[in-house]
Homo-oligomer: A and B are copies of this chain.
């Protein structure tokens, strides 16, 4: 199967996108893969498979590779006398801004390029943690209580310590702090506001049970990964997550009963249906006093959560055969014709 991995982006998660792409090169080695890199200035480059290593990008060597432009139906490589069109299905692997905020989805849809990844609406409801709360509210999915602070409006936090402070739109734990007492608050807020003008405050629950589940829709049916209980040192900081994005060994199933498995899947499906079609997402859940809470939706999880799937390559192939099409309205100028003829023009 042919597949093009699109990675990079003008994002705080640019580097982990590179790590993700390198990981998928191994995990999807049975595919006929190609790679398109989006640099921080939004230029596209076609990267030779043998050059898919981190230093290619950190040393700027990608600039010597063929530049591409995006055009109707294809990424185009312009030559002196002719152009080459790259028309494979794209796997959007740009984490964070560009990839997960709806930009790349809109771009690929506009140019009628088939892709695996969250569509615009799905991005808005998962990239911004405030809107994930609204989604869950509407879909009857439990989440932790929360408050929003903005850099312009300061207000007292009514959630008792310890609390967790998160920039509204960043992933990969960037800018996230646990605050145990008031004296630590200002520093944590300054850190978070460096990344976003809106910040989410939630209770921090010591030793909470956490479960990660990935899945996707294909042939109008949900397909789930195994459920993992992530091993973590409180929560993963950016450097640990960074390494985490290169995960490729399959993990062990969490030791939970069928009933909890069913409830985690039910909550996942409630969030997914009608919104995330076309994408493979990972939902991170808490279980508190026997109740399931959705913590986060990762619409483009690190290395596509390959380590959670028993047969990752087949999963990606199934998904790529079930992609939604962006519908286009047909214009027939009916009204203008009728008005023009009424005017006798």
**Cα separation A78 to B274 with both chains bound (whole Å):** 41
**Cα separation A137 to B133 with both chains bound (whole Å):** 12
User: In the complex the two chains form, is A98's CB within 8 Å of B124's CB?
Assistant: no
Known: A103-B106, A107-B107, A110-B107. A333 touches B57 (CB 8 A): yes
Tell me if A155 counts as interface (CB < 8 A to partner B): no
User: In the complex the two chains form, is A54's CB within 8 Å of B106's CB?
Assistant: no
Q: Which residues of B have CB within 8 Å of A204? A: none
Is chain A's binding surface mostly helix, strand, loop or mixed? Answer: helix
User: In the complex the two chains form, is A111's CB within 8 Å of B42's CB?
Assistant: yes
Q: Which residue of B is nearest A43, CB measured? A: B72
A114 to chain B, nearest CB (A): 15
Q: Which residues of B have CB within 8 Å of A58? A: 333, 336-337, 340
Q: Mark A39-55, 1 if CB is under 8 A from B, else 0.
A: 01111000000000011
Q: Which residue of B is nearest A18, CB measured? A: B336
Residues of chain A in range 295-345 having any CB-CB distance to chain B below 8 Å: 328-331, 333-337, 339-340, 345
Tell me if A28 counts as interface (CB < 8 A to partner B): no
Residues of chain A in range 98-145 having any CB-CB distance to chain B below 8 Å: 98, 101-103, 105-107, 109-112, 120-121, 123-125, 128, 131, 133-135, 137-138
Q: Which residue of B is nearest A335, CB measured? A: B15
Q: Which residues of B have CB within 8 Å of A42? A: 72, 110-112
User: In the complex the two chains form, is B106's CB within 8 Å of A120's CB?
Assistant: yes
User: In the complex the two chains form, is A335's CB within 8 Å of B242's CB?
Assistant: yes
User: In the complex the two chains form, is A340's CB within 8 Å of B55's CB?
Assistant: yes
Tell me if A184 counts as interface (CB < 8 A to partner B): no
15 A–B contacts, CB within 8 A, in A order: A10-B328, A10-B329, A11-B329, A12-B329, A14-B331, A15-B333, A40-B328, A42-B112, A97-B329, A102-B124, A106-B120, A120-B120, A134-B134, A134-B135, A137-B138
| Other A-B pairs, 11, CB within 8 Å; known A41-B72, A69-B71, A103-B120 | A42-B111, A55-B336, A55-B340, A57-B333, A97-B329, A106-B106, A107-B107, A120-B123, A124-B124, A134-B135, A134-B138
Residues in A lying within 8 Å of B, measured CB to CB: 10-12, 14-16, 18, 40-43, 54-55, 57-58, 69, 71-72, 96-98, 101-103, 105-107, 109-112, 120-121, 123-125, 128, 131, 133-135, 137-138, 150, 198, 239, 242, 274, 328-331, 333-337, 339-340, 345
